[in-house]
Amino acid sequence: MTEREFQAKLAELDRLLNDPEIRMDPDRVWALLAEISAQEVVGQARA
């Protein structure tokens, strides 16, 4: 995942969690969290 894709996923997660205009989609929230956390683990392993 590129840095741009990573930032886009973080932004989408932020909108899902904090924007009262957007309907909560728990499946999407969990999917984004899984992708983001997997990327962070990979990033830490490379450091």
Q: What is the pLDDT of residue 9?
A: 95
Question: What pLDDT is stored for residue 44 in this prediction?
Answer: 59
The pLDDT of residue 7 is above 60: yes
39 pLDDT band (50/70/90 cuts)?
Answer: confident
* Angstrom distance (rounded) from CA 39 to CA 16: 20
Angle between helices 26-46 and 3-18 (to 10 degrees): 140
What does the block give as tokens for 8?
Answer: 């886009």
Sequence ranges of the domains in the chain: 3-42
